[in-house]
Structures are given as structure tokens and as C-alpha cells.
Amino acid sequence: MKALYILFAALSIVSCQNQGKEDINKAKQASIDSMKVEINRQRVIDSMKTEMAKIKEDQKVESQKVESQKVVVVHQQQADGTATTTTTKKKKGWSATAKGAVIGAGVGAATGAIVSKKKGEGAIIGGLAGAALGTGTGAVIDSKKKNE
């Protein structure tokens, strides 16, 4: 009978140790899973930032091209026979792409801040997404105007 009690006590101790190890493994796995979710979220945010930087750089290059091409030369003949030449650059307003990006970023940031539990993170993600959508919409409008 003593042997039976000793065997039962040994089995209960071993099973308690195994249960503790399983709990630790579950906690480790939950931690790893939450880290993977955060890494994927950060990857999305970083890719959005990269795309926005590319879009801004493209817009800057495009605006420099447009400014360098828009030169008006006026050649006037005066009454005494001498000629004068004046060169002026035309100022151009914002393109529909730039307007769409700014409006989309504002609306997206406001919506993201309102909807998200983490206000700052929601505003950043919403602003980037809104700017991307606004840029796309503005580009479509610009291409339609160009074709007209």
C-alpha cells in the first residue's frame, strides 16, 4: 500500500511539472504571435512611408520640369527701332494630384484618429492611406484634364 501512495505522489508531482511547462510554452507562443502582428503592422507603415516619399520626390521633379518648360518670351519693337526682350515664368497652381493628396491626408488622419483606439497611430495610418487614395484620385483628374 505504501508503494501505491509513493507511486501516486510521484505521478502527481511529474504531472504538475508538465502542466507548468505547457503554460510557459503557451505564454511564449502568445508573445511570439503578438510580436509577429506588430512586425507586420510596422512593415505596412514603413512601406506606406516609402511610397509617400517616392510620390513627393516624383512631384518635386515633375514641378521642376514644368517650371523649367514654362517660359514666356516677349519681343517688342519700340518706336525708335530698338527691340526689347522680356522673359517671365508662368506660375502654376497646385495640381489635382497634390490637392487630392493633401485633402486625403487630412480626412484620413481625422478619420483614423476618431475610429482607432490608439489615436496617434490611427491618425498616422489614416493620413497615409488617405494621402495615397487622394493622390490616385487627383492623378486620374489630372490625366482627364490633360486629355481634354
Residue 27: predicted pLDDT: 84
Q: What percent of the chain has pLDDT over 70?
A: 76
Residue 59: predicted pLDDT: 84
Q: What is the pLDDT of residues 39-80, one digit of tens each?
A: 888 888 888 888 888 888 888 887 777 666 655 556 566 656
Q: What is the pLDDT of residues 82-92, one digit of tens each?
A: 555 555 555 56
What are the cell numbers at 58? Answer: 516624383
Residue 94 phi, psi dihedral angles, 5° rounding: -70, 145
The three state secondary structure string of the chain is: CHHHHHHHHHHHHHHHHHHHHHHHHHHHHHHHHHHHHHHHHHHHHHHHHHHHHHHHHHHHHHHHHHHHHCEEEEEEECCCCCEEEEEEECCCCCCHHHHHHHHHHHHHHHHHHHHCCCHHHHHHHHHHHHHHHHHHHHHHHHHHHHHC
Say if residues 48 and 132 touch (Cβ distance below 8 Å): yes
Residue 125: predicted pLDDT: 92
Residue 129: predicted pLDDT: 92
**Residue recorded with cell 492611406:** 129
CA–CA distance, 113 with 43 (Å, rounded to integer): 20
